[in-house]
Amino acid sequence: MNALHPIHPADPALHHLTGRQITDLIVELRTEGREFGLLWPSAKPGETILNGQLLVSLGNVPASTLVNLLALLREFRRHRD
């Protein structure tokens, strides 16, 4: 994960993520993003795969959006601290 090189929604690496792994990423995003007001209490792994993209039930965004948001938060924290 790198904020300078975001993951494309159709990246094959995302196809291997399980529902549990997506849940863990959502928990991490909630924890890391709380300071910035990124709160999505209803977010959960989506059961839909659209055009090969695993979706997160957060307005049906691709899982790549979740991964990329985490990368941005980590990059910001690394430069801030």
* Domain boundaries defined on the chain: 12-80
pLDDT at residue 24 tops 70? yes
Separation between Cα atoms, residue 13 and residue 16, nearest integer Å: 6
How many of the other CB atoms lie within 10 Å of CB of 35? 10
Is the separation of the CB atoms in 71 and 63 below 8 Å? no
Residues 22 and 63 sit within 8 Å (Cβ to Cβ):
yes
pLDDT digit string, tens, across residues 45-61:
666 666 776 666 665 67
Predicted TM-score (pTM) of the model is 0.65
For the chain, strand residue ranges (E) read 44-50, 53-57, 61-62
